[in-house]
Amino acid sequence: MPSASWPMLEGQLIKETAHARYVENPLWQGLTNELDSCSSVAGELETEATPIADAGILLFQPSCPKNLRSLHPNTQPIFQLWQIFLNNVNPIVKLLHSPSTQQLILEAASDLDHISQPTEALLFSTYLCAVASMDDESSRQILRASRADLMAWFSRAAKQALINTEVLRSTNVLVLKALTLYLLATRQLHDVQTRWLLTGIASRIARTMGLHWERSLSSLPAFECEMCHRLWWQIVFMDSRAAQLCGIVVDAHSYHFWDTERPRNLSDSDLSPLMQELPRDRPGATEMLFCEIRFEIGDCMRKLTAMEHGLVGGSVSERLVEQERAINALESRLEESYLCDCDASIPFHQLGRGTVAEFDIVVETLISPVKSVYRP
């Protein structure tokens, strides 16, 4: 239980006519305090889902498997979409091992009539991610259709492909990767509440598979174990981000409910499905740079939340000191391990630096209210 001496930040109920929403995230609370009325915030939060997003509920509904062969693009566009995925999506969402996944796609594209359902779900999710990262002009050049039409087309196809796998009962890692990519690609098509609920599904499936406990992963081959590390941390980040946008603080007690190791700072070329053991972390910038920065920050925020809610021993003043020490240690580690090797000409390296700057702002917003309540 949290210490009685530790100032707890209470949530706030935003109510408008028959609708009400509870928010406990200090970012949202600070915003509501500065606005003339809470009704405007409720209006912002109560966004309407698009027709595409409404179909997301189909993931819960029983459905007969459907043949999706006719919904695939031709072979050349498949390879073009894969290359776009590698260029635009892969650097910031390192769920897939590029060399082995590329071989899987090559084999699948050569015989789309006989691919497995998990592979087909992954294919449609990569198509969808690629289109989501494109502009309208590129969409028309490659597939001769508008980006909006392609998003609708591949969103429905990806959903049906997931339904074909019985995603809610599946314990196939490939299916969970496909679901995660689908949720990432369609995040702008869902209202914040639906997005949070859907990411929760991915999180629960991952827990069913044991991805949240390191000891359950330790029996896997080294390569599979590392790919599970990447998958779990991406899902945790995605779920935490969705909760934040929904105005919900992630349960501090969850700090004790998973212990999956952070993915190593390794490029895909450092990994092989045949390897017996993993290499050590590589210093400096690798293909995992952006993800590593994001995961390091996420892990720090997880610890800060545990401290904030009194799940770590010590007095209030001691915990405040520990929070500041953890923040300073993280900033030093990020600079020494990653940022010092960044190339300003590489966009994703710039994005990594921007993520660190965003972290500084968020931390100040979260910790300042506690400091204002407690005065040593």
Q: pLDDT band at 344, cuts 50/70/90? A: confident
Asked if 266 contacts 286 with a C-beta cutoff of 8 angstroms, the reply is yes
- Asked if pLDDT for residue 43 goes beyond 50, the answer is no
pTM (two decimals):
0.81
The pLDDT tens digits for 115-173 are 999 999 999 999 999 999 999 999 999 999 999 999 999 999 999 999 999 999 999 99
Mean pLDDT on 77-100: 97
DSSP state letters, 189-235: GS-HHHHHHHHHHHHHHHHHTTTT-HHHHTTS-HHHHHHHHHHHHHH
Q: What is the mean pLDDT of the chain?
A: 81
Mean pLDDT on 201-211: 94
- Asked if pLDDT for residue 39 goes beyond 50, the answer is no
